[in-house]
Amino acid sequence: MVEKNEKYITLQQFMKLKNIASSGGEAKHLVKELQIFVNDEKEDRRGRKLYAGDIVKIEGKTYKVD
């Protein structure tokens, strides 16, 4: 998912790729409303940088950034 020439993907981009949000505006609202954890830390920033190997939990569902 993280391109070879890119070192990270933002939480907002990740949410769009996983069809959790359809747009950046929707992601902005969902990040504030949903229970989102990155590597077991509560996250409420849509611009949070995610790196390969990070674990993202959104409303109890777990994803691994690859």
Q: Which tens digits make up the pLDDT trace of 36-59?
A: 999 999 999 999 999 999 999 999
Q: Which long-range contacts (CB under 8 A, 24 or more apart) does 27-32 make?
A: none
What is the predicted pLDDT for the residue at 63?
A: 97
Distances (CA, A) of 36 to 5, 27, 40: 27, 12, 9
Higher pLDDT, 66 or 37: 37
pTM: 0.86
Is a pLDDT exceeding 60 seen at residue 25?
yes
Closest by Cα among 22, 16, 21 to 33:
21
Structural contact between residues 12 and 46, judged by C-beta atoms closer than 8 angstroms: yes
